[in-house]
Structure 1
Amino acid sequence: MTYIDEDFNYYSSRKPSETDDKHESSLIGNAAGMGRSDEYQDPLSKHEFGDEPAEQKNGLARFFANGKYPLEQRIENKKRGIGRQKYPFVVWLLTTIMVAVFIYELVVNGRQQGTPISFKPTVNPMLGPSESALINVGARFPPCMKTVDQVPVTLLLPCMNDTANPPDRTCPISDLCGFGGIADGETPNQWFRFITAIFLHAGIIHIVLNMLAQCIVSAQIEREMGSGGFFIVYFAAGIFGNVLGGNFALVGVPSVGASGAIFGTVAVTWVDLLTHWRYHYKPKTRLVYMTVELIVGIALGFVPYVDNFAHLGGFLMGLLVGTIFYPVICTSRRQRLLMYGIRLAMVPIVIVLYVLLVRNFYTSDPYAACSGCRYLSCIPTNANNHCKG
């Protein structure tokens, strides 16, 4: 089970007796550093979760999964893997939207090239639309978002309906950008691609891998922290991953996928493990598995159309924003104050990172600041001019 069983609430369904007090103290109270069970109180509940029972909350409070539970119950729920809500509504909604958007991508490519999957002029290894089609439907592609001297909007690329090799139908980037195109003399400014790229996927393999991770890892995180906090973490990580990639990845290659957002939710599992170490079963073994999974995920960032900077940026932002919103169990006033201090410190860090990288994207050449950073998401080959194309 990965949710709070509303029918099983031992602490709210019966009044604790003196015998129960002693029994509960011996089992759980010592871990929490507290005495009688009727004196137990979630130290975060008044400040973060409100004073009303969850079932009496209004719709907005339910969305943020607020509720007041005794400290010993929260500890027991954590050990049993029980979260704050039963269903991951946001994950289900996002997954539905992303599958629908991917079907739209295939339809667009099918109308242009005659087949939903691009086989000519080049084969998409992810089994999906052509590069031109991905740009047209909203991939993160810097030339459509700002002036890029190396890749101006007047540069000719294969049209969406081109199937010849070498291409015999070329279109200017200004037309491929779609969304009304970019008029002559107009400065590209399709900033929304930082967001739309999250909902797009490069192919069948790409979306299957991402949706599996989203419906397993991300769904569990939503159950644990509630839909409100999860929503903020998910999009903060996804957008920041695209901002970081826009700064340092190859400017002439489109990037798509929810990987950055998913990596942000993976980062929350690290927040959970490190803050609740003693409540996890075999935490050292879990740490090893999580480390291996992280390494594999970063390795997949070198696949075409997938940006490792989105992975790394999403993970970093997931750690920061996840620390702010994840419901950490504090068993003492000192721990509670320390957690509040850490959360307050995270807020300006998040803001500064966003401001600096967005400003850097629009006002300077990131390659000049970090010429070697591109290799974190690119394997040098002749096809990409050794990560300079």
Structure 2
Amino acid sequence: MMAQEPPKEIQIRVHSRRGGNTIHPVDAETPPPLPSPATANQSPVVYREVKHFKKWFTWLIPSFVVANVVMFFITMYVNDCPKNSVSCVAGFLGRFSFQPFKENPLLGPSSSTLQKMGALDVNKVVHRHQGWLLITCMWLHGGVFHLLANMLSLLVIGLRLEQEFGFVRIGLLYLISGFGGSLMSALFIQDNISVGASGALFGLLGAMLSELITNWTIYANKVAALLTLVFIIVINLAVGILPHVDNFAHIGGFLSGFFLGFVFLIRPQFGWLSQRYAPPGYFSTSTTPKFKIYQCILWVISLILLIVGFTVGLVMLLRGVDANDHCSWCHYLSCVPTSMWSCKTHPVSCLSDQIGDQLTLTCSSGKNRTYTLVNATTSQIQGLCTQLCR
């Protein structure tokens, strides 16, 4: 009795080559001109692009980095420290020199300059209807150290995601996550301005976590990858409990990105791909759905939570609600007071008295000092006030 030859199998092999990937069957026999069901498994090798797994050319994330750097240079040009402050750091840089360390230890501009450039100021959003500040603050940074930390992180995280999923999905994820971080920051921190791309960056981290969960079956070393990613996220969020770090923006961005990842970064099953990209004449005995049931459930739940969350948050913000009034312990998520530092971050204010060339400033705490300064400008007074009261 002759042994029956087993049917040929179609296998998908994904090659990570720039500009597109190919799939090809293992079998390479030449078929008859018109394939029939009996000979369907003897199709020739074909090369077709698998768009779901191709490597995209990365240009958007580098563009975001360039945009942030350019905005920082513009901000420093507008700041013009020699003209608006009594003293500057790195004075040889001219109008690009930095505010004094006591005023801005990050090597950057003054708070008033950041406000002019579009920093998040809750009072302006609520009372002057300047909602665009929730977006513009994402492109500003408090100083050189702040800018370098965020841009290096953006390159490390963002390039990989854009290469895997393309500029459209990652661009939307970045912008919406940044908006979510700004929204949560505005609800909980209403006494200070806020700037930085940290909310958007944490959104990318959150999306990496949800992408691992929703595409769980296609990964090798799942547990190791999950534990590594969770460890990185926990460490970054833990840094946010230090003073002068807006951890609410981090948390808001992370949650937004986490749910967006289930919506934007879902991948189809390999079984569905093998059917879709099988060579002509190949017939499958079973039909595989494009997505698993759990992927669809997570997609629906995440989309609902995103819509509800953003809607409720915006309504609360525009009504001037302070979220701390409804959550007495939430402030610990952004700063935990210890014997080494205080979490009091109320904006400084001073009374000024100019007599001749003598300028006397008195902090709201009672501390005062007299400076020799002729015709002090508002920016100079504010800078001296910040140095005196902090």
TM bucket, shorter chain: 0.5 to 0.7
Shift of 1:210: 0.7
Q: Deviations over 1:321-348 (max 9, x none)?
A: 1111114232442843442343233222
Whole-angstrom CA distance in 1 between matches of 2:297 and 2:77: 50
TM-score normalised by the chain length of structure 2: 0.66
Counterpart in 1 of 2:332?
375
SS of alignment partner, residue 297 of structure 1: helix
- Aligned mates of 1:107, 1:133 — CA distance in 2: 10
* Structure 2 partner of 1:226: 166
Alignment correspondent of 2:176: 236
Shift of 1:381: 7.9
Partners of 1:37 and 1:329 in 2: how far apart?
A: 26
Among 17, 33, 36, the alignment partner of 2:28 is 17
Q: 1:351 aligns with which of 307, 318, 342?
A: 307
1:176-206, Cα deviation, whole Å (9 max, x unpaired): xxxxxxxxxxx42221110011101111111
Question: What is the rounded CA distance, in whole Å, between the counterparts of 1:296 and 1:138 in structure 2?
Answer: 30
CA contact (8 A) 2:28 2:42 kept: no
Kept after mapping to 1: 8 A contact 2:79/2:110: yes
Q: Is the 8 A contact 1:256 1:306 kept in 2?
A: no
Residues 264 and 318 in structure 1, CA contact (< 8 A), matched pair in contact too: yes
Secondary structure of the corresponding residue to residue 124 of structure 1 = coil
- Name the residue aligned to 1:294: 233
Match of 1:271 in 2: 210
Q: Deviations over 1:26-76 (max 9, x none)?
A: xxxxxxxxxx797xxxxxxxxxxxxxx76xxxxxxxxxxxx646xxxx5xx
SS in 2 for 1:333: coil
Cα pair distance change 1:218/1:37, threshold 3 Å: farther
Provide closer, same or farther for how the CA distance between residues 201 and 353 of structure 1 changes in structure 2, counting only shifts above 3 A.
Answer: same
TM-score between both structures, scaled by the size of structure 1: 0.66
Match of 1:95 among 41, 65, 78: 65
CA contact (8 A) 1:380 1:387 kept: no
Residue 300 and residue 16 in structure 1: after superposition, are their counterparts in 2 closer, same or farther (change >3 A)?
Answer: same
Specify the alignment match of 2:152 in structure 1: 212
**Is this contact kept in 1: 2:214–2:266, CA < 8 A?**
no
State the distance in 2 between where 1:306 and 1:100 align.
Answer: 23
List alignment gaps of at least 5 residues for structure 2: 1-14, 31-40, 89-96, 272-287, 348-390
1:261 aligned onto 2:200? yes
1:334–1:216 Cα change, 3 Å: closer
Aligned partner of 2:128: which letter?
Answer: P
Task: Tell me, yes or no, if the aligned pair for 1:200 and 1:258 is still in contact at 8 Å.
Answer: yes
Within the alignment, does 1:137 sit opposite 2:117 as a pair? yes
Structure 1 residues 260 and 216: CA distance shift in structure 2, 3 A: same
Q: Please say if residues 266 and 295 of structure 2, whose CA atoms lie closer than 8 Å, have aligned partners that are also in contact.
A: no
Higher CA-based Rg: 2
Q: CA deviation at 1:379?
A: 3.9
1:234-286: CA deviation from partner (whole Å, max 9, x where unpaired): 1111001110110012x111111111111111112112322344543433232
Please identify which structure carries the higher helix content.
Answer: 1
- By how many angstroms is 1:6 displaced? 4.1
- Report the aligned-residue RMSD: 3.2
CA shift digits 1:71-120 (9 cap, x unpaired): xxx5xxxxxxxx531x2221011111100001112222234336432216
Cα distance change of structure 1 residues 335 and 124 upon mapping to structure 2, 3 Å threshold: same
The alpha-carbon distance between structure 1 residues 253 and 295, as it changes in their structure 2 partners (threshold 3 A), is same
Give the Cα separation in 1 of the matches to 2:99 and 2:42: 64
Aligned length: 291
Q: Which one of 314, 317, 325 corresponds to residue 361 of structure 1?
A: 317
Residue aligned with 1:255, SS: coil
> Contact 2:177 / 2:256 at 8 angstroms: preserved in 1?
yes
Mapped to 2, the partners of 1:319 and 1:97 lie a distance apart of: 25
Q: Give the equivalent residue in structure 1 for 2:246.
A: 307
1:3, distance to aligned residue in structure 2 (A): 5.3
Aligned with 2:221 (options 262, 266, 282): 282
Structure 1: tracts of 5 or more residues without a match: 20-35, 39-52, 55-66, 75-82, 147-186
Maintained 8 Å contact 2:216/2:222: yes
> Partners in 2 of 1:271 and 1:289 — Cα distance?
14
